[in-house]
């Protein structure tokens, strides 16, 4: 704290010491005569509660509790942590931690952490749920001379969590990029809301630890945090516009790039290289990541043709040849950057006999000043490019060892540009819904002690929300069944209704394609006979009479409520293909129209829906409408924990969809 | 050459100089009185032919032609290159290049390259088709202190290519790992054969440049090489057991790991870490790459429980806690390595207050001596682990900055262990095939000037190779058609045969489910009437009468002949799903039984074939049999360039398959 150059006053508190590092020491924080803004607590856990109370009484505004020995150690620690949080709330104190490494702010400057040395001042804010990862990265930042605006160790997140710090970082003018290592997000819906808003102002890059089932176990034993399902996290990040890194290196490569480069105005990169091989590798990576190679204008090609040797390649990727000195790089970079078709640039250099690494680096830095197009450098090699690479990095041109890393970082930048362009998502509330009907069925199931709605109840529930289901009636006698069939119209299907019978067709519980009243009667009796023979103890609610609808393309819409993030909606190919092809997409409710459209276009089935081999396209608008209705239903009724419409038949354009089979499960509370 | 410490004699040849660097210079190589083993040619291209001739006359055994100005410059250069190759052949000289950077051998030692400094002696052989990538990597090797056995720049590969050098490296006792950057492989089938044999002795790791269509263009302009389709390359690498790297960094991380670590005896890794976050990241990566976490034995867990602090995790990943010093690492590593359930180990260290980085590194090096289980280290951070990381690397324990890189390298090692375990693939030659029948149909199509066999010809061809097709006859009159139907048995399908009519059903050229002789007559006339109305100029070969077979699961088997690698066989889900789901797998012919089985199990459709939701499993053995028959057919007949069996109906176990529709295309020569 002293060494970092902090300009405020520091009061050590310790019951035994008289003086610490030349500062007078107080036996109790309440003895300090000055106003105390913040207290760093680094004492054994059992003593923390009393100290926190003392801080509260003193009027301290915030605590940084470094002490370990709380939730991460088990039940008793968790109790202690709850008590600590209570004290903080009681006195209106904010708390970081406990069990954290503290906080560093390079512009204050203020180092309230274990870290021995401060990183260089910069504009990257690094928030980490893992203290050890934090230390390693701080150490790495020192070596790489990477500038940070601040470093925040979240610890157990008893009070302040990643969302609070995101909100603060968005307001902090010193911060340009927010990067986060996180293992769990407890307030999923709040995260989604805050992140969605924040990314419009500053990029947020997240590395999520604990994606695997085994990893989740490790996370559990590490911080005692509940780790949500990874699908929900992935969906939340995508939907809110948070950029995800796959590993620590990516996290930092992205951070360096975002912290120095402008946002590109489009997806079209030019590559300038003095070597074929690395140019090919960069091009390969562009194709793999969806980064498009710019088509240089005729004018640019002509200008390059005049300046470059005849065996150069004047098309993108531009090959300035192995004997290119810095002046040839300069002329080429200038021409290419001035081409309106180019929105970003990657410059590759491989050290060869005539190569001027440092001079070329200086040229790039020079040309990058005031540029509104991102420039990324790839200087391959070791000693021959060491000084040049450092020069580039020190002067805000990100420099990578290998082409693939530059392309990856650029693709993240392009992704962010697209996120910024996204329209504000609007959640329209549908009014043509019958809430009373839904309540009635939920209530009746509850009274009956059931958590799974009966098929006709589930059908009525979604019908109340404007989703078409086949005409359907529950019959409890043969006469009922015949009457229902006559009303509905033939052909009909008869199906036994019993929550205990899972595979109805296996025991003859379903009869299809019934064409007459006599056949209905026969089918009714047949079903009951077989059911009573094979499953004599099953509770029978009756027999469902359903209109047999024409075959459509089989889709599925499902909902699963995530503990952290709420209803996770799934869309994809239904029928027997759903389980093994897993051609599905996800979004968290509530959905906007764009969300629903994106869900559909993300699946491979989209190609089928648009119509292949001259087949008529399917009614995609109707699918969008149903997705929105499902979204609203599960948003309106938190007691719906799971839902499956499978199959959902979709017909050709203008003919809509029919939800053939619906299953709805309620909370057990 | 002089500086590198070469022990042999060096004779400079130059028509003007008297002396070069203190060595007497000869005006012509023929004036040298000594025996000349090898000549390095670094003179302008137009002079190379004469010098090559002189070398030939002198009895030189090999040329390294560094000179550029050959095939890579265009048609004239290509002609010059062919002439140069002719001279080499005439005199029985081997040639590396032209347009290459030369060759380095660190054990000779011999530096016949542009590279100023020699890399350290090591056991990695690096073969590169890109000179620039080679220089960059050599420079990088110097900085990282990476040892190489040799470096080979392939250049234009006029004579010696990657396959020749692979063969040489397999024999070189100094070489343990072969790594290759390649943009094209011309002799695909030879590569497959040599590589398959070589990988059983030494691992081969390949980075293929030019995987994208744009990248392929860049490759084309770079070396003038024909770049084959990437699918064929991928398949060739997989099938031969060559390990592929996705980028330069992976190539070298794999090389370092393979060059120092033993091959693991199984897929079960233990992770030891002093920090939760990095442990989670390593675990996540294991799951993503299919590396299995070992279940530690009860005995190990008990031993660790006794030695480690109570809040440690004694299960895998083992967390030795942030305050672990080197002795705690030692005890843990010893116990874990002695567990028979563990086949490899990753040790993660994040520098914290009590951490002894260098001491821990020394401990690991000590414990790694004589180990038969691979040990990989992950020392995260910057300055705090710099010395320790270098110590590890210098002492043959690969050390990575981030956990994901170690796991990736380990997964390659495990992949190689599995390659070594692969049984020798045996290609049985089927004898129950009728070659005369095939020849007859190919001949008749050729005489007819057709490159596409008519449907019944194609059916007869695969039938001759033992593949079941529906009963099928070509009818050229109504009487014929009725007679054919009577012989075949109802129901039948009638289909017009005309190479010019692609979408037969669109113009009513197909009638399904015909049940009687009258209906056959009616259908026959109807088809001809409609065809003559809609496509009056189409050449009609007749009407095909086919037995209508029961619906099976629709699969596809296809063949496409690759210029470099020969017949590439495809297997997957057929019908409307083939194009948009792309659930297909590939192998190059000839297939072994294992190849065919692997092709099937690699597809997602395999789950369907094994039987889902209580459905009966499909006849996978019959599919294997058909794949082998297709493989032999296209191997026996190089004139078949393309083939599609789509749909291939597969039925339940024991009921086989029927090839419903077959298309065969011949070479145009």
Q: What is the pLDDT of residues A254-280, one digit of tens each?
A: 999 999 999 999 999 999 999 889 999
- How many other β-carbons are positioned within 10 Å of the β-carbon of residue B246? 16
Q: Which of A468, A538, A480, A459 is nearest to A506 (CA)?
A: A538
Interface contact flag, B608 A286, Cβ < 8 Å: no
Is the confidence at residue A228, as pLDDT, over 90? Answer: no
C-alpha A559/C-alpha A578 separation (Å) is 14
Q: What is the pLDDT of residues A90-117, one digit of tens each?
A: 999 999 999 999 999 999 999 999 777 7
* pLDDT recorded at residue B489: 93
* pLDDT recorded at residue A213: 55
How far does B406 lie from chain A, in Å, by closest CA?
12
Which residue of chain A has the CA closest to B128? A277
C-alpha A34/C-alpha A53 separation (Å) is 18
The per-residue b/e assignment along B526-565, b for 16 or more CB within 10 angstroms, e otherwise, is: ebbeebeeebeebebbbbbbbbbbeebbbbbbbbbbbebb
Q: Which of B605, B234, B260, B197 is nearest to B413 (CA)?
A: B260
How far does B386 lie from chain A, in Å, by closest CA?
9
* pLDDT recorded at residue B669: 65
C-alpha A286/C-alpha A269 separation (Å) is 9
List the single residue in A222, A317, A353 with the smallest CB-CB distance to B276: A222
* pLDDT recorded at residue B255: 96
Residues from chain B that touch A275, judged by Cβ atoms under 8 A, are 130-133, 136
Dihedral of the CA atoms B541, B547, B551, B556 (nearest 10)? -40
How far does B636 lie from chain A, in Å, by closest CA?
34
C-alpha B328/C-alpha B188 separation (Å) is 52
Q: Among A113, A136, A144, which would you mutate to test the B interface (most chain B Cβ atoms within 10 Å of its Cβ)?
A: A136
How far does A45 lie from chain B, in Å, by closest CA?
15
List the single residue in B207, B313, B383 with the smallest CB-CB distance to A221: B313
C-alpha B80/C-alpha B69 separation (Å) is 9
Q: Among B70, B77, B218, which would you mutate to test the A interface (most chain A Cβ atoms within 10 Å of its Cβ)?
A: B218
Exposed (0-12), middle (13-18) or buried (19+): which is B650, by Cβ within 10 Å?
Answer: buried
Q: Among B272, B277, B295, which would you mutate to test the A interface (most chain A Cβ atoms within 10 Å of its Cβ)?
A: B277
Interface contact flag, B132 A212, Cβ < 8 Å: no
Model-level pTM greater than 0.90? no
Residues from chain B that touch A221, judged by Cβ atoms under 8 A, are 276, 313, 319
> Which two tokens mark A345?
């640039």
Residues from chain B that touch A210, judged by Cβ atoms under 8 A, are 280, 284
> Which two tokens mark A263?
């946002």
Which residue of chain B has the CA closest to A128? B277
H/E element, B279: helix B276-289
Residues from chain A that touch B577, judged by Cβ atoms under 8 A, are 577
Interface contact flag, B384 A613, Cβ < 8 Å: no
C-alpha B407/C-alpha B345 separation (Å) is 10
The domains of chain B, with CATH numbers, are: 1-99 (3.40.50.720), 101-260 (3.40.50.261), 262-421 (3.40.50.261), 471-548 (3.30.1490.20), 553-666 (3.30.470.20)
C-alpha B540/C-alpha B475 separation (Å) is 11
Residue-wise DSSP of A151-182? EEE-TT-SS--HHHHHHHHHH-TT-SEEEEEE
Which residue of chain B has the CA closest to A113? B353
C-alpha B30/C-alpha B617 separation (Å) is 75
* pLDDT recorded at residue A625: 96
How far does B111 lie from chain A, in Å, by closest CA?
16
* pLDDT recorded at residue A22: 94
Q: Which residue has the tokens 């670094």?
A: B42
Residue-wise DSSP of B481-544? HHHHHHHH-SSEEEEEE-TT-S-GGGGT-EEEEE-SHHHHHHHHHHHHHHHHHH-TT----EEE
Interface contact flag, A139 B383, Cβ < 8 Å: yes
Q: What is the pLDDT of residues A470-495, one digit of tens each?
A: 999 999 999 999 999 999 999 999 99
**Inter-chain CB pairs, A–B, below 8 Å:** 265
In this structure, are residues B51 and B29 in contact, taking their beta carbons and an 8 Å threshold?
yes
In this structure, are residues A467 and A629 in contact, taking their beta carbons and an 8 Å threshold?
yes
Dihedral of the CA atoms A63, A67, A72, A74 (nearest 10)? -110
Confidence of residue A462 (pLDDT cuts 50, 70, 90): very high
In this structure, are residues B659 and B469 in contact, taking their beta carbons and an 8 Å threshold?
yes
List the single residue in B319, B352, B614 with the smallest CB-CB distance to A135: B352
Distance (Å) of CA B278 to CA A98, A154, A209, B407: 20, 16, 8, 12
Residues from chain A that touch B350, judged by Cβ atoms under 8 A, are 132-133, 135-136
Helix axes B213-223, A276-289, angle to 10 degrees: 170
Residues from chain A that touch B133, judged by Cβ atoms under 8 A, are 275, 277-278, 281, 350, 380
Question: What 8-state DSSP symbol labels residue A291?
Answer: P
> Which two tokens mark B517?
């002789």
* pLDDT recorded at residue B577: 65
Which residue of chain B has the CA closest to A407? B247
3-state secondary structure (DSSP) of residue B390: helix
Q: What is the pLDDT of residues A337-380, one digit of tens each?
A: 999 999 999 999 999 888 999 999 999 999 999 999 999 999 99
In this structure, are residues A354 and A325 in contact, taking their beta carbons and an 8 Å threshold?
yes
3-state secondary structure (DSSP) of residue B639: coil
> Which two tokens mark A308?
């470059």
Which residue of chain B has the CA closest to A271? B218
Q: Among B126, B127, B284, which would you mutate to test the A interface (most chain A Cβ atoms within 10 Å of its Cβ)?
A: B284
In this structure, are residues A256 and A250 in contact, taking their beta carbons and an 8 Å threshold?
no
The segment with the largest mean pLDDT, out of A130-134, A452-456, B409-413, is B409-413
Residues from chain B that touch A246, judged by Cβ atoms under 8 A, are 404
H/E element, A627: helix A620-636
Which residue of chain A has the CA closest to B383? A143
> Which two tokens mark B443?
């001949």
C-alpha B378/C-alpha B125 separation (Å) is 25
C-alpha A186/C-alpha A209 separation (Å) is 14
* pLDDT recorded at residue B336: 98
List the single residue in A213, A223, A383 with the smallest CB-CB distance to B142: A383
Which residue of chain B has the CA closest to A310? B73
Lowest mean pLDDT among A195-204, A214-223, B82-91, B649-658: A214-223
The per-residue b/e assignment along A645-668, b for 16 or more CB within 10 angstroms, e otherwise, is: bbbbbbbeeeebbbbbbbebbbee
Q: Among A225, A276, A296, which would you mutate to test the B interface (most chain B Cβ atoms within 10 Å of its Cβ)?
A: A276
Confidence of residue A576 (pLDDT cuts 50, 70, 90): low
Distance (Å) of CA B553 to CA B580, B608, B659: 17, 9, 11
Interface contact flag, B353 A114, Cβ < 8 Å: yes
How far does A609 lie from chain B, in Å, by closest CA?
11
Which residue of chain B has the CA closest to A582? B604
Residues from chain B that touch A583, judged by Cβ atoms under 8 A, are 581
Determine phi and psi for B327, rounding to 5 degrees: -65, -35
Dihedral of the CA atoms A114, A118, A124, A128 (nearest 10)? -10
Residue-wise DSSP of A371-420? -SS-EEEEE-SSHHHHHHHHHHHHTT--EESSHHHHHHHHHHHHHHHHHH
Exposed (0-12), middle (13-18) or buried (19+): which is A173, by Cβ within 10 Å?
Answer: exposed
C-alpha A131/C-alpha A116 separation (Å) is 14
Which residue of chain A has the CA closest to B145? A382
Q: Which of A610, A645, A607 is nearest to A629 (CA)?
A: A645
The per-residue b/e assignment along A5-20, b for 16 or more CB within 10 angstroms, e otherwise, is: eeeeeebebeeeeeee
Residues from chain B that touch A607, judged by Cβ atoms under 8 A, are 579-580
Interface contact flag, B311 A276, Cβ < 8 Å: no
Interface contact flag, B283 A214, Cβ < 8 Å: yes
How far does A635 lie from chain B, in Å, by closest CA?
32
In this structure, are residues A453 and A461 in contact, taking their beta carbons and an 8 Å threshold?
yes
Residues from chain A that touch B214, judged by Cβ atoms under 8 A, are 283, 286-287, 293
Residues from chain B that touch A207, judged by Cβ atoms under 8 A, are 281
**Residues lower than pLDDT 50 in chain B:** 215-228
> Which two tokens mark B580?
């948009």
Angle made by CA atoms B659, B660, B665, in degrees to the nearest 5: 75
List the single residue in B213, B293, B382 with the smallest CB-CB distance to A143: B382
> Which two tokens mark B25?
């210079």
How far does B1 lie from chain A, in Å, by closest CA?
17
List the single residue in A136, A207, A385 with the smallest CB-CB distance to B351: A136
Q: Which of B272, B339, B265, B271 is nearest to B302 (CA)?
A: B339
C-alpha B267/C-alpha B497 separation (Å) is 55
């Amino acid at each position: 704290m002293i060494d970092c150059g902090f300009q405020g006053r520091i009061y050590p508190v310790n019951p035994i010491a008289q003086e610490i590092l030349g500062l007078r020491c107080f036996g109790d924080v309440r003895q300090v005569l000055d106003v105390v803004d913040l207290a760093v607590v680094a004492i054994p856990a059992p003593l923390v509660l009393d100290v926190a109370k003392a801080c509260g009484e003193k009027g301290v505004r915030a605590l940084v509790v470094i002490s370990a020995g709380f939730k991460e150690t088990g039940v008793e620690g968790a109790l202690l942590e709850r008590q600590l949080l209570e004290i903080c709330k009681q006195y209106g104190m904010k708390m970081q931690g406990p069990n954290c490494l503290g906080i560093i702010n390079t512009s204050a400057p203020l180092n309230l952490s274990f870290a021995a040395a401060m990183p260089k001042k910069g504009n990257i804010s690094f928030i980490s749920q893992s203290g050890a990862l934090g230390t390693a990265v701080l150490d790495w930042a020192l070596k790489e001379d990477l500038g940070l605006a601040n470093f925040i160790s979240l610890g157990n997140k008893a009070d302040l969590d990643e969302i609070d710090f995101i909100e603060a970082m968005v307001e902090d003018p010193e911060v340009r990029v927010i990067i986060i290592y996180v293992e769990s997000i407890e307030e999923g819906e709040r995260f989604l809301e805050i992140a969605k808003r924040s990314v419009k102002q500053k990029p947020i890059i997240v590395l999520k630890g604990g994606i695997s089932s085994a990893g989740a176990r490790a996370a559990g034993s590490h911080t005692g945090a509940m780790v949500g399902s990874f699908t929900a996290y992935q969906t939340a990040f995508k939907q809110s516009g948070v950029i995800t890194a796959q590993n620590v290196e990516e996290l930092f490569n992205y951070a360096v790039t975002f912290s120095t480069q402008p946002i590109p105005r489009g997806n079209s990169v030019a590559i300038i290289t003095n070597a074929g091989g690395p140019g090919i590798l960069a091009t390969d990576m562009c194709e793999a990541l969806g980064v498009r190679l710019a088509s240089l204008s005729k004018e640019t090609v002509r200008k390059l043709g005049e300046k470059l040797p005849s065996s150069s390649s004047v098309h993108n990727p531009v090959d300035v040849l192995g004997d290119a000195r810095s002046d040839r790089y300069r002329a080429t970079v200038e021409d290419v950057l001035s081409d309106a078709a180019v929105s970003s640039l990657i410059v590759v250099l491989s050290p060869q006999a005539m190569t001027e690494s440092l001079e070329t680096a200086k040229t790039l830095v020079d040309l990058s000043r005031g540029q509104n197009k991102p420039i990324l450098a790839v200087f391959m090699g070791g000693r021959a490019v060491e000084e040049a690479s450092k020069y580039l990095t020190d002067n805000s041109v990100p420099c990578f060892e290998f082409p693939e890393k530059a392309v990856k970082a650029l693709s993240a930048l392009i992704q962010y540009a697209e996120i910024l362009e996204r329209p504000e998502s609007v959640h329209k509330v549908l009014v043509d819904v019958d809430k009373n009907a839904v309540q009635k069925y939920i209530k009746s199931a509850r009274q009956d002690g059931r958590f799974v709605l009966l098929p006709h109840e589930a059908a009525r529930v979604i019908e109340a929300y404007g989703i078409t289901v086949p005409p359907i009636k529950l019959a409890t006698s043969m006469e009922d069944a015949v009457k229902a069939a006559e009303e509905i119209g033939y052909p009909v299907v008869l199906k036994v209704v019993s929550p205990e019978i899972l595979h109805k067709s296996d025991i003859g519980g379903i009869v299809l394609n019934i064409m007459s009243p006599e056949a209905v009667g026969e089918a009714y009796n047949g079903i009951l006979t077989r059911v009573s023979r094979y499953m004599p103890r099953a509770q029978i609610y009756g027999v469902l009479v359903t209109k047999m609808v024409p075959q459509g393309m089989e889709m599925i819409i499902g909902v699963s409520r995530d503990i952290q993030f709420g209803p996770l909606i799934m869309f994809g190919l239904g029928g027997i293909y759903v389980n093994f092809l897993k051609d599905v997409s996800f979004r968290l409710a509530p959905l906007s129209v764009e969300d629903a459209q994106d869900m559909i276009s993300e699946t491979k089935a989209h190609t089928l829906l648009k119509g292949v081999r001259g087949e008529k396209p399917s009614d995609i608008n109707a699918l969008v409408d149903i997705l929105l209705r499902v979204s609203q239903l599960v948003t309106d009724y938190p007691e719906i924990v799971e839902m499956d419409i499978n199959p959902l038949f979709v017909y050709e354009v203008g003919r809509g969809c029919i939800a053939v089979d619906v299953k709805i499960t309620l909370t057990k509370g």
